[in-house]
Chain A
Amino acid sequence: MIQLAGIQRTYTVGGRPVPALKELSLTIEAGDYVSIMGPSGSGKSTLMHLLGCLDRPTGGSYRFAGEETARMTEAGLSRLRRHQIGFVFQFFHLVPRLTAAGNVELPMVFAGILPAERRQRVWNALEKVGLTQRASHRPDQLSGGEQQRVAIARAVVMSPALLLADEPTGNLDSASGREIVNLIEGMNRQGLTLIVVTHDPRVGERARRRIHLRDGEVVADERAGSAIESPAAPGGQPSRA
């Protein structure tokens, strides 16, 4: 589903190039559950933004579902994000003036889906995250865990193939964090490809495939049970039930 070959992303800071990702190659299968771990500044978010087509690499090739993204127009990338990719962020990014239902509805509003169908799908999405009771609450009336569940409902309401979560539990207490992880793992079991960025090992260890970054390079890439390639593998314990 995802093929990265020799991906580079170099920022220019004060006239000097700062490489955030160096020659990164990676293939991710549809339906997989991948965590991306590493210290702060290792390039996790940069990779996430590239995968979500919010940013373009400065070098290398990124093929999504077989198609080269470098050749897509801005509008084509927007379509890709709209239909194929759902995002969950550390800071939820709900629109404060809209209710929970309004936030979940948003992607469909801009996709031109008719109101009657939107209502149905908002309800279904809120049901999946267990928030139908809170549908007409605004973000400031919801707890952090509830807000993140609204964000997840919004991310999946267009039935994407890929869910990208950047530190989804980073702003939550551990109980809410666990709920969120359980929720997206459940969606992964239904076939949704799941990529989670985290620096919390207890969250990252749960993934079937764990990729460790350091200074913009993959330093370990392991599968639950068997390490595929781990030049500097920190002893990871497969912990998924």
Chain B
Amino acid sequence: MKLADLLHFSAGGLRGHRLRSFLSLLGVAIGVASVVLLTSLGEGARLYVTGEFASLGSNLLIIIPGKTETKGLAPLVSTAPHDLTRQDAAALLQRVPAIRRVAPLAVGTASASAGERRREVTVVGATRDLLEIRHLQMASGRFLPRDASDAAVCVLGAKVQRELFPDQNPLGQLVRIGEWRFRVIGVIAPRGTSIGMDLDQVVEIPVATALRLFNRSGLFRILAEIGAQDDLRKTEQAALAVLRERHAGQEDVTIITQDAVLATFNQILGALTAALAGIAAISLGVAGLGIMNVMLVSVSERTREVGLLKAIGVTYGQVVAVFLVEAAILSTAGGSLGLVAGLGAGRFLQWLYPDFPVQPPPWAVAAALGVSCSVGLIFGILPARNAARLNPVQALMRRKA
């Protein structure tokens, strides 16, 4: 028997009960659509987060005070970690040759006001090098001074500028941050969120000023940029050695690198996507049962037809094939419909939230189609075998159902 004939005959069998076929097909469609949509969201989250960290650049060390690793024995005498200081940052730049730039950061929140206008802002204490390290663009004016001064100057994020100075040039104007007044020397071009910090809603001031403003002795973190040619691991070790020496032999800082963060997030969010796919796959299983049910009804309704087929010499295997192919056509059609619906819903979400990448992972699309086809084949086995095992004499004697 030719495959085309088999497909044609099986498709004809489905046309006999359109509504029922359509409903069971819809079950598969919903299952596949949910797989596609949920994995799209999971994958979107992964792309979003890793994209954020990828924008850090692969040549960045992030140095955080405190040891977060829990390897080895706890120290006998537990001491509070040393502060991470601007002098630490300077020492790294001086003593680790691979480190090209460092940006000591101090972060806090404060209310900022200009005239009548007032809003809460994230205040980032930084130095000139942050501009290069984070590849910031100036919309107007200039960035913070290169030296480690504690001048009362500030640089506004795009949104802060819009809200505090809606229709005037902010350069040279005064902004009140906390109790102090700062002169605006620049505005950063709009950029959006990056590592959980909306740079458009930030005010940057010199790091020394920030430490005094927030009355802190230690930095929030140090960003260190290394040369493109230099080895990340070795530099990390060298930086650790310098800091250990400066912190009385204690290893009380944590260094994160982009690839380590990326690997962790990839892992977590990949697992999340897989879990979502698994949940959605349950609905595919339910849809498979729907198909099985429809096929069982179909076989019992067409008992006489099966008897006739056997009488005209159709083999056991051909009867199995007829009903398996029917089930596979149902589920594959449902799968295709679900794929289109899932991708459509993804597009719609993308349109609602343009910043969040909603994109089905390629494996999910392939798997959705493959799985939906196999759902039909697997859940079709029982009905198809029931049909093929019918006793032809009894099948023919059955009165119309």
User: Taking beta carbons and an 8 Å cutoff, which residues of A are in contact with B?
Assistant: 49, 52, 54-55, 74-75, 78-83, 85, 87, 89, 93, 95-98, 106-107, 109-112, 114, 154, 158
Q: Which of B15, B313, B315, B391 contacts A83 (CB 8 A)?
A: B313
Check A52 against B311 for contact (C-beta < 8 Å): yes
Contact of B318 among A54, A93, A110, A158 (CB under 8 A): A110
Which 7 pairs between the two chains have the least Cβ-Cβ distance? A82-B313, A81-B313, A107-B312, A78-B315, A93-B308, A54-B392, A110-B314
Residue contacts A-B, CB under 8 angstroms, 21 given: A54-B396, A75-B316, A78-B313, A81-B312, A81-B313, A82-B313, A82-B314, A83-B313, A89-B396, A93-B311, A93-B396, A97-B13, A98-B12, A107-B313, A109-B1, A110-B312, A110-B314, A111-B313, A112-B1, A114-B2, A158-B313
Contact of A87 among B16, B311, B315 (CB under 8 A): B311
A158 to B381, CA, bound (A): 30
Quote the shortest CB–CB distance from B314 to chain A (angstroms).
5
Contacts of B15 in A (CB 8 A): 97
Query: Total A-B pairs in contact (CB under 8 Å)?
Result: 71
Asked whether any CB of chain A lies closer than 8 Å to the CB of B238, the reply is no
Asked if B189 lies at the interface with its beta carbon under 8 angstroms from chain A, I say no
Central interface residue in B12, B312, B391, by most chain A CB within 10 Å: B312
B313 & A74 in contact (Cβ 8 Å cutoff): no
Chain A residues near B304: list those with CB within 8 A: 93
Q: Closest A-chain residue to B13, C-beta based?
A: A97
Given contacts A81-B311, A82-B314, list 9 more A-B pairs with CB under 8 A: A54-B311, A74-B315, A78-B310, A93-B304, A93-B311, A97-B13, A106-B312, A110-B1, A110-B5
Partner of A54 from the list B5, B13, B310 (CB cut-off 8 Å) is B310
A109 to B10, CA, bound (A): 12
Q: Does B269 contact A (CB under 8 A)?
A: no
Please provide the chain B residues from 294 to 328 with a CB less than 8 Å away from any CB of chain A in the complex.
304-305, 307-318
With A54-B392, A109-B9 as given contacts, are A95 and B312 in contact (CB-CB < 8 Å)?
no
* Residue with the highest number of chain A CB atoms closer than 10 Å, among B5, B13, B311: B311
Quick check: is B367 within 8 A (CB to CB) of the other chain? Answer: no
Mark contacts of B161-198 with chain A using CB atoms, 8 A cut-off: 1 yes-contact digit, 0 otherwise.
Answer: 00000000000000000000000000000000000000
Q: Which residues of chain A have C-beta atoms less than 8 A from B13's C-beta?
A: 97
Looking at the assembled complex, report how far the CB atom of A155 sits from the nearest CB atom of chain B, in whole angstroms. Answer: 8
Is residue B393 within 8 Å, beta carbon to beta carbon, of the partner chain?
A: yes
Within the complex, which residue of A78, A83, A87 is in contact with B314, where a contact is CB–CB below 8 Å? Answer: A78
Q: What residues of chain A lie closer than 8 Å to B313, measured between beta carbons?
A: 78-83, 85, 107, 110-111, 158
With a cutoff of 8 Å between Cβ atoms, the chain A residues found around residue B391 in the complex are: 55
Smallest Cβ-Cβ distance to B321: which chain A residue:
A110
Shortest distance between the CB of A78 and any CB in chain B (Å): 4
Contact assessment for B393 and A54 in the assembled complex, using a CB-CB cutoff below 8 Å: yes
| Known interface pairs A87-B312, A89-B396; A97-B12 also in contact (CB < 8 Å) | yes
- Shortest distance from the beta carbon of B316 to any chain A beta carbon, whole Å: 6
Q: Which residues of A contact B316 (CB under 8 A)?
A: 74-75, 78
**Contact (Cβ within 8 A) B393 A49:** yes
CB distance from A136 to the nearest CB of B (A): 15
Smallest CB-CB separation from A82: which chain B residue? B313
- What sequence of 0s and 1s flags, for each residue 67-94 of chain B, a beta carbon within 8 Å of any chain A beta carbon? 0000000000000000000000000000
Residues of B within 8 A of A98 (CB): 12
Residues of chain A lying within 8 A (CB to CB) of residue B317: 75
